[in-house]
Chain A
Amino acid sequence: MVRVKLWGSLRALADGEEWVEVEASNFKELLDALSEKYPGLAPQIKRGVSLALDGVIYREAWFTKIGPENEVVLMPYMVGG
């Protein structure tokens, strides 16, 4: 199981939880599992999200390995100027 931190405004769509747990070994599995477990999150995930793995921000990168020892944080998809 991987623990994922959701940002505040997503929590209402995930039973009010800040941290949710899903079965996943990489980002893709994580996002799929999140969409399945919390259908309310699916539109946001479809629009695009970033993920922070131990403090490093990834914009996509489905096959990035993750495990229970990692800090995984869901973040909005980033744009720059």
Chain B
Amino acid sequence: MRYVKPESFEAAATLLRDEDGISRILAGGTDVLVQLKAEMVEPDLMVDLKHLPGMREIVAEDGGFRIGAAVSGAELGEHAALKALWPGVVEGVELIGSSQVQSRATMAGNLCTGSPAGDSVPAMVTAGAVARVQGPDGVRDVPVIDIPTGPGKNSLSKGEFITSIYLPARPARAADAYLRFIPRTEMDIAVSSAAVSLELDADGVVTSAQVALGAVAPTVLLVKDAGEALVGSKLDETAIAALVSAVEAACNPITDKRGTIEFRTKTAGVLAKRAAHIAYTRAGGQA
């Protein structure tokens, strides 16, 4: 394996494009090093990009924030303004792994790994986050939801990698929340998860709602009708029931060592309901 720290994004993209063997990008390393250990993959080329400009920075931009692809969960959690704007996104990232893993794990890595259970992804999806992708032919912006294409797979072409993720501005009276189910209290992969992002009017009526689910399908799902079920409501029982049934209907999970189809479906509904209530309260809604 060769380990390379390219001098620029462009050089990195060219290097990755021209590599004939297996290449991997090192961000936090919390997945790729596990894969190395398990002998799941033996890369010929490991490209470390953490030192490149902006990779480790969180920058305010147009009322939102641009987050460098190598910003760790711990750094994100220490950013008060970002946490206030997108609490659900930050809590999702902060749920990845242990304190140790938090020092290294990144949103971009969590996204590109392509796990349907990635804790940072559902809330990025409900936030409408956009990834900035560097490739051999230049830079393009891609909605986060379009990055993962299946377990372990993503839509990036050879030579492409994420340099930052943009979380947009928020109106007042808006908030998000993320919940996952794990058998223990820490250190597990989500068995199911849900993110809810809400915007309220002055009366506390939901004007816009996004609901995304993790670990219940090959990729994170944005469930449009689950969000629509909440619009126009103050999360009354009827709206919540409609949310839960839309969520359950959208679930298409598998049974594996971590959970059954039934369990994942049932808990996804429960988590979406609970996350909706948390987001609503955070947005200033009176239950």
Are chains A and B touching directly in their complex (CB below 8 angstroms)?
Answer: no
